[in-house]
Structure 1
Amino acid sequence: MKTIIVEGNKGFLFKKGKFIKMVEAGEYTSFNKRTYDIAKVNDKEIITNLKTDLNIFTQDENFINQTIVHEVKNGQIALHFVNDLFESVLQAGKHYFWNIDRTHSFIELDLSSPILIDSFPKSLLNDNRLIPYIKKIEINDKKIGVLYFDHKIQGLLNPGTYYYLNGNVSVDCPVLDTCLICQDILGQEILTNDKVTLRISCVCNYKITDYIKIVSEIDDYKNQLYIAIQLALRDYIGERNLDTILTSKKELSEYLSTSLKEKGALLYLDIEEVSVKDIVLPGEIRDIMNTVLIAEKKAQANVITRREEVASTRSLLNTARLMDENATLYKLKELEYVERICEKVGNINLTTGGDILSQLTTVLSSKKD
């Protein structure tokens, strides 16, 4: 039986299952229980067709001269480079490579430390082949990150992009806001002192004062702030009647801002302002108030109408008194009305004798009658 080892491959001769030597490309006759295992010559780790343990080949001097071995210790990985080009990531164990017409180099990475060594190539940080081994953290503008190694706080990360080794140490980085934060408190149903249920919405503006302590000492600061605002609303609304609350919306906002300052300090928050957005009444109460409002507006309209009628009557009375006392003014007023009437009259016949104004007045008066 013949075995052909093509160019670009190496053969390993076995006799009765025992390794004899490494052979070059060529044609070989298999007899007397001789067999051949074959491995490709390339940049990758040496793997034979039969996946033979490569350590048994180290007794062959040719194999030793044409290969390089690199051992990766437990708790480490190694970056493998061929002719200064990244090839693969090596796990713990011995790795054999062909050194024929190529050079190999390695960078060891300790999995017990998430900090990347200075010699780590920056060009490989976003290489898809290293995604399982690299932890990428991006901190956007107006944010700050709290860095954890194995659930222990290490410090703060300012806006930017950071890379860590994703090994035996867990790496986490919750992100917090550095700008003014606006939190809505929507639809809080609260009973007033006179047993009316109001639905109140407000908004709270605040900033974080201590990023380390707020994550290490406070459990869910947003929820605690939410509860504090709820309690402050209930304290204020529960002690006042509906009419008082509706007329003191500004006072309610001031009360919330003042009362939450101290609570915010305990949560490492600087409460800048708490404002009431909406106060929604129950449907029946709203209809009643609309009816009252309509009645008030109608009463105001009636008062204005009566006031204008009185003013108009007083003006007519003053005009009549002046005309009674002044004959010339009376005549002018009479001419004014005659002029208005004449605008609507077609032809008027007058005689030449007598006062024309008197005749015109008489004619118009008779036509009017």
Structure 2
Amino acid sequence: MKVVVMPWHRAVRFRDGEHVGELGPGRRRVGRRDSLHRVDTRLQTSTPSSQEIPTADGVHVRVTPALTYAVVDASRCVLAADSPTQVLHLACQLRLRAAVAARAHDRVDPERAAIAAELHEGLRPLVDEIGVEVREVAIRDVVMPPELRRAAIAEITARAEGRAALERARGESAALRSLLNAARLAEEHPVLLQLRSPQNAQTVVVEQSGAPRRAERAKREAADQHAQPGDSPR
């Protein structure tokens, strides 16, 4: 009997219930007494179930890990575990509980990378045993209790309001300093006010003298608009 093994598969071969090796990609001939167990060797991602874990200070934090792994030894993977993914998930969850329980709740989120590194190192003996290589471990989610989330939002809001109040106070202080400098300058140099007064008066005179001319020009434009071409004497 001939079978085809795809490039991303390894076929673990058994004869009369005895493990006799593996078949690589290609068209292969197997005997009638042989049975094959195909194993996918492509890169896989998996997310173990999130769990609420008590921290060192008694706060329950919900943490979700994520794994990226691949089978590197198909025979060992088939012979050592009925479900390698479930074995990997359980081991990851147990080591995650230990890593989170050793930290206070306010250290869990900032130390995601350190927790992931601890998980990666802790999983190494197990994955070697079941023929799997873990390429990456990440902490995808860290969710605090609702009370702590509300407290964190209130703290952020208070900080933003404090910064806004500080900016308003700085603006008012700058305006007061400007007025104080102007008053001091006027007190020390009264002649500046005398020079400023004729300038203001001249501006008013110019504006008032221009008003009659603008009114006369408006009257002429209105008369021109009402004039009709047939009104001129014949």
CA distance in 1, matches of 2:181, 2:3: 89
- The unaligned stretches of length 5 or more in structure 2 are 210-234
Q: One-letter code of the match for 1:148?
A: F
Q: Distance in 1 between matches of 2:198 and 2:136?
A: 72
Within 5 Å, which residues of 2 pair with 1:1-369?
116=1, 137-162=3-28, 164=30, 167=32, 169=33, 171-322=34-185, 324-325=187-188, 338=200, 348=208
Residues 267-300 of structure 1 show CA distances to partners (whole Å, capped at 9, x for unaligned) of 3332222101111223333233222322232223
Relative to 1, partners in 2 of residues 1:201 and 1:321: Cα closer, same or farther, differing over 3 Å? same
Letter matched to residue 177 of structure 1:
D
One-letter identity of the residue aligned with 2:5: I
CA–CA distance in 2 between the matches of 1:320 and 1:161? 98
Amino acid at match of 1:290: I
| CA pair 164-258 structure 1, distance change in 2 beyond 3 A | closer
What is the CA-CA distance between 1:307 and the residue it aligns to? 2.7
Indicate the structure with greater helix content.
Answer: 2
1:305–1:141 CA distance, 2 compared to 1 (3 A): farther
Aligned residue identity for 1:348: Q
What is the CA-CA distance between 1:214 and the residue it aligns to? Answer: 2.3
Cα RMSD, aligned residues only: 3.4
Specify the SS of the correspondent of 2:48.
strand
Q: Distance in 2 between matches of 1:228 and 1:213?
A: 18
User: What is the rounded CA distance, in whole Å, between the counterparts of 1:138 and 1:290 in structure 2?
Assistant: 59
**Distance (whole Å) between structure 1 residues aligned to residue 127 and residue 149 of structure 2:** 35
Q: Secondary structure at the match of 1:258?
A: helix
Q: Give the secondary-structure state (helix, strand or coil) at the position aligned to 1:141.
A: coil
Compared with structure 1, are the counterparts of its residues 306 and 252 closer, same or farther at alpha carbon in structure 2 (3 Å cutoff)?
farther
Q: 1:258 to 1:300 in 2, by over 3 A?
A: farther
Q: What count of residue pairs does the alignment treat as equivalent? A: 209
Contact 2:80 2:129 in 1 (8 A): no
Identical pairs, percent? 26
- For 1:253, give the aligned amino acid: A
Shift in Å at residue 156 of structure 1? 1.8
Distance 1:250 1:335 in 2: 73
Query: Match of 1:104?
Result: none
In our comparison, the structure showing a higher alpha carbon Rg is 1
TM (normalized to structure 1)? Answer: 0.48
Which range is displaced more, 310-319 or 181-190?
A: 310-319
Cα deviation for residue 177 of structure 1 reads: 2.8
* Residue-by-residue CA offset, 1:167-210 (whole Å, 9 max, x unaligned): 5x2x4322223232222123222122222222211211223332
Q: Is the 8 A contact 1:324 1:330 kept in 2?
A: no
CA drift of 1:144 comes to 1.8
- Please report how far the alpha carbon of residue 226 of structure 1 lies from its aligned counterpart in structure 2 after TM superposition: 0.9
Do 2:64 and 2:142's aligned partners in 1 also have CA atoms closer than 8 Å? Answer: yes
Corresponding letter in the other structure for 2:208: I
- What is the rounded CA distance, in whole Å, between the counterparts of 1:333 and 1:216 in structure 2? 99
Query: What is the distance in 1 between the residues matched to 2:113 and 2:120?
Result: 11
Which of the pair is proportionally richer in strand?
1
Q: How many Å separate the matches in 1 of 2:141 and 2:193?
A: 64
Q: Which structure is richer in relative contact order (CA contacts within 8 A, separation 6 or more)?
A: 2
